[in-house]
Structure formats: structure tokens, C-alpha cells
Structure 1
Amino acid sequence: MKQLIYLDNAATTKTRPEVVEAMLPYFTEYYGNPSSVYEFSGISKKAVQESREIIANSLGAKANEIYFTAGGSESDNWALIATAEAYAEKGKHIITSKIEHHAVLHTCEYLEKRGFDITYLNVDENGSIKLDELKKAIRPDTILISVMFANNEIGTIEPIKEIGEIAKEHKILFHTDAVQAFGHVPINVDEYHIDMLSASGHKINGPKGIGFLYIRTGVKSRSFIHGGGQERKRRAGTENVTGIVGFGKAVELAVAGMEERTRKETELREYLMERVRKEVPYTRINGSRKSRLSNNVNFAFQFIEGESLLIMLDMKGICGSSGSACTSGSLDPSHVLLAIGLPHEIAHGSLRLTLDEENTREEMDYVVEAIKEIVAKLRSMSPLYEDYIKHQGN
């Protein structure tokens, strides 16, 4: 296999060996169904509870406030749909932002078709919501505010504590999609006045197919999957014991190593950003420079297409992603980049690189040289770039 430099950790992360080791016995040795009554299954039940407690402690929550799901998308769907149904008699107005993950945006579209009114907040040029606009959007029938903790494309961390305070002051429920932030930044649900929080295992070196929804005690939320009595009768289905054990171990490791990991990733991020900014002309860095996930880099290169850049980086063994949705068959650029004010032609030339603590400065040097070479080659074939340079010379 050719050299691989993996810089798409916002999409998924490598499962850590310690996580795999923790999971293995629950495939072949302790394989009992936690809902069964005999002693053998009690081993699985205990393992599930231990992971629940690890996750709850990481948030300053109670163990019985953690509900396991199949991942972040399910958790987002549950938070919005079940809450909307439970509070429909109080009101049918929900507030979110224009830069949410599609798990939230598409769920909001679903709710709109069922009679709910959704307000989509604007963001500033860094991708941060405007608190004054949030306050103005609140109505007597507002039942829920859902704003992501940190953006998955540009890495901007939202003013979650202030949003939570506003929600609490107006007695409105507050949900945050923390899929990108959980395990990467410290979160305390009481300090931030969070009523519901979504997270996913495979974003923090855990397994895929497992997530959770935190629901504060006292919040009404109807059952999301009907059937058995699992997850305190709110989410039916046999528990994914191996996934839950792996998630718990991944959280334990992420919390223990958060400070050192953040330091390493921030140093690499700044090194990469500065080299590209200085050495590749007509480049913009998207997202906040101060309030940002430690591992997130997002560039917009003028006069090129992000999809072509991705393909050519892949040929050099570099895995990244584009803010453009071209790779999913759409000609429209990222809704996040448009929301922060980028014109279509610049938004199409975006590149997201998300790091891991195992990445090295030598890898960053290789990536920078590859970007310089590829961007120069793509621009040499661009009539728009040729015309721009000609006009610059006049």
C-alpha cells in the first residue's frame, strides 16, 4: 500500500488498540444479552452500566441521563423529533442555525412538513451564531433551541454557555449536537445549561455504530424506538454491548489525554495553517482562529475545484475532505461556507484537513508541498485564474 497520511478525523477516527482489546471479550466470551435474567448476562449488563457511568462522569451528568443509540445522527433525530412531539401542546417553534449538520437540518425539514415552525439563525464570517439574533428569534411558543457545539466543517466552537443561559432564562430546552466536540473539549452539562446532548463513538477513536443522547432529568422525551424495555423504555432494541464497552473505553482515554492531545494538535494545526497561508497565494482560512477545535483546518483556494484537489491529494496518499458537496453528487458548495459569506466560486475550492495527535510535522511538510504543487497545477489550467493574473498586470 502507498504511503497514507490520514487527515480526515472529523469523518471518522482510527479505533485505538486499547478500545479493541476492551471490546473483544464481549464478542466471544461474555456474549450474553444484558436484558436476560441469568447471572451470565449480568456480566454484560454490568459492563454497559460501567460505560454509562464513565460517559456520565465525563459530562458532569448522572448515569441514568445517558441513553445509548446507534450514533450521532440517531441522537439528533431523537432529540428533535421526540422532544417536538412531547412539547407540541406548549408550542411548535424551534430555533437552530444555518450551519448545523444535516442530521439536524434534515430533521428540522421533516418537522416543518408536520406543522412545526423552524427559525434558522445566521452566523458571522467565522461561523459563530449571533446571540442578539437568537434572543430576537425567541417567541412565546418556542420549545427548543438546537445549536451544535462545534462545527464539523470549519471547526468553530459556538458560544454554548451563553446560548444555554439564554435558553434557561426563557425556560426553553437546549440541545447541542456535540458529535465533533465531545471528547475533544471539556463539557459540563450543568455549567453550560445543556438539556440534551448528542455524541458518537467513532469521532474519538471508538467504534462505529454507537452513540448516546444525554437527556436531563425532568425533560419530557417520548420513546424513539418502540419494542422492548431497553434504555429505560425510551430506546428499544438489544444493547450493542461491544460498542458500548468500546465507547466507554474511548471516553476514558479521551478525557485522560485531552490536555496533551489538544496541545499537540494545536501546534500542528497552526504550523500547517501558517505555511499554507504564507506559501499558497489567494488562500483563505475558514472558521474562527481563536474559538476553534484543536485539530480542524479549513482552507478555501481561489480558482480551483475542491473535488479535483481531493482526487490529486489522494493520488499522493493524503486523505482529506472538501467543504464542497461535489463528491456526493451535488453541484452546490457547502451550506456552511455559504452561510459564512463565501461566494460560490470560492466555496467550491475548499479543503478540510482534520488532524490526530499521531500526525507529525514531517507529514505536514509533505502535505504543504503537495498542496502547493497541486493548486499551482490546477490554477494553470483555469481560465479564470489566467484572466485574473492578466488583469492584475494591467
Structure 2
Amino acid sequence: MVRAAVLPAVGAPLEVTEIDLPEPAAGQVRVRLAAAGVCHSDLSLSDGTLRQPVPAVLGHEGAGTVVSAGPDVTGFAPGDRVVLNWAPSCGRCHFCAALGEPWLCENAGAGAAVPYARTTAGGELYPGLGVAAFAEETVVPAHAVLPLPGGVPLTDAALLGCAALTGYGAVHHSARVRSGEAVAVFGVGGVGLATLQAARIAGAGRIVAVDVTPEKEELARAAGATDYLVASETTAREIRALTGGHGADVAIECAGRAAVIRTAWGSTRRGGRTTVVGIGRKDDRFSLSALEVFHFARTLTGCVYGDCDPARDLPLLAGHVREGRLDLGALVTGRITLEEIPAAFEAMVAGRGGRSLVVFGGDGDAPAPGTGA
């Protein structure tokens, strides 16, 4: 039995309880979690914005140590430090094999629909996004486990599972930020803070952070922002004023709201690029006129998982961590327990703080949990 935060039904409160976690079968690995990040996608799963069979154990951004592996699994042994991959590529579908775009894998989400554990009463439980990291331990397919390179604290490494890869990839793979370019980042949560750091690593010139609350300015500037704006109806105009009247070369939207995407688009120069990272609702729409699409010659692109191949990019990010260019701990504004996840959701909705990190005991390099969301 292990403790886990269970979502009994869509829209229902999480319940911290014991679950019956089986030993790994063929092709599976059991992992003891050191930490798990609380991502906006978890909130979207809990409220039905994103589909997830229930009851489920949410949490998809995690790191820990291998407990055991299935009989046919090679390459992993008990005690190995690993990062969990919520979107493992199959290597066989059109996007993986023909296009070399594993972040768009047709089968990446298949694990979320397969029961992986049971309640104490014997009912089936599903793993949120195939990972189920809001638990002391989890069982996942071996291809959803990535070796953690040396030199990265295990608790901080949880952020590599989603926020850091997404923010880094949005800058370096999707938007392809070049040295000296002006970048505007909309939304200063966990992914937004990672995006700001990635823009700084890319050598961006002016880096403008935008959020709905003035309280995030210090976090944004510490991550690399040269300017900070509180979102308003004049945000696009203010960004143009900061960039010689032209607009930003690149805007990266991390909030997942149509109105923010529209503002991000409007804040870029002619020929500028807007990358949408945030996951929004399917009924949240915005419009562009045919004339402005022609006249401004801007591009608008979606961005799934930062257009990252985790097997390729995780070692690169670990190198940035070791060299002091990427500070994973700076993304975290609260180290919490399983019981405090609902408060972390509330903080997210209210726009407070960066990433909340659920910290489990026994990993050896984690501060004590319970320091707030």
C-alpha cells in the first residue's frame, strides 16, 4: 500500500488515501517519488478541461528512484535516479518514425486510459497522464522513465519532467529565439519562469515578462526578465514602446487563454513569431482579420511539450543546471505535502506564485515539506 492523492470524479476534491499498487509487470518499472510538481495541466484534468478517466491519481511531473523493474526490463536497476516522462513516444507512428517529431506521438497518451492500481476497496484506478506522480510510488512503462544525469538534485529534477523541458523547448525549438532578439513572455507560473530562464540562456536582448499580478515581478526579474508589465488593455502597446515602436521579435504565451494569445500576437513586430504553450479550453476563441494576417506577416504556432525529445534534451538541460545557467529551484515557490495540493490548485487559479512541489521523505536532498503553496 502507498499513499496517494486520488481524484474520485471530475470536479471532486482530491482524497489522500492508501492505494494498492501492484509490482511491475513485463515492460514496467516501479519508482519511489522524491518530488512531483503541481502543473496547471493537473488542474485542467481535475476540472474536466482535459480528459482523464477517473478515479485517477494525477501528477505527471516527477522524479525519484527505481524500486524494481519487470522481468524483461533492461537498463534500469533498483536505486537508479530517474525522471518520469508523461509523453513517451512510441517510435512507430507517423509522427515518430516518418517525421521525427516524438512530441506529437499518436500513442503518447495511451497509458492514461489503462488502469494501473486499485483502491483499498478493489476498484480500478487510472494514472493521470500515464504517470500518477501524486503518490509515494508509481508504476509506469519502462519507456516513460528517463535516466537522470549526474549533478542535478533529485527533488529539483522533478521540474525537468514538464516545466523546464516545455519552457526550454518553447524558446529553443518552437520560437527559435536568436541572440539579441526581444522576447515577451506572457504568464509567470512554473512554465513561464522556465521560459524566461531559457530566453536568457538563448541570449535574448530585452526580455519582457507579463502577468496579472505585480507580486510576481521579483520572480520574473530573477529568472531573467529585463522588464515587467502587469497585464492590461494596453499591454501590446507598452511592449511596442519598450522595443523601439516595432514590437517583440518573439512572444511566448504560457497562460492558455484566447485573450492573452491575441495580445501576444499583437505585441510582436511585423514578421514576428508567437508561440502558444498554455493549454486552454476548446470553447475559448479569438479572431484575426484576413488583412492583418497578410499585413503583419506574423506567425502563430502551437507548442506541445516544448517540441522536445526528452531523451535528447534532458542531458542538455542537466548540463545547464550543472553549469549554473538553469536554476530549477528558482521555479519553486512552495514545497508542500500531498494534503496541500488543493491549496496549490487554488493558488494557481488566483495567479499566485510559481511552481508548487510535492516533496516526499527519504530522498536525502529535499527540504522539509509543508512550507506553503
TM-score, normalised on structure 1? Answer: 0.33
Bigger helix fraction:
1
Higher RCO (CA-CA < 8 Å; seq separation 6+): 1
Which protein is bigger by CA-based radius of gyration? 1
Bigger strand fraction:
2
TM-score, normalised on structure 2? Answer: 0.35
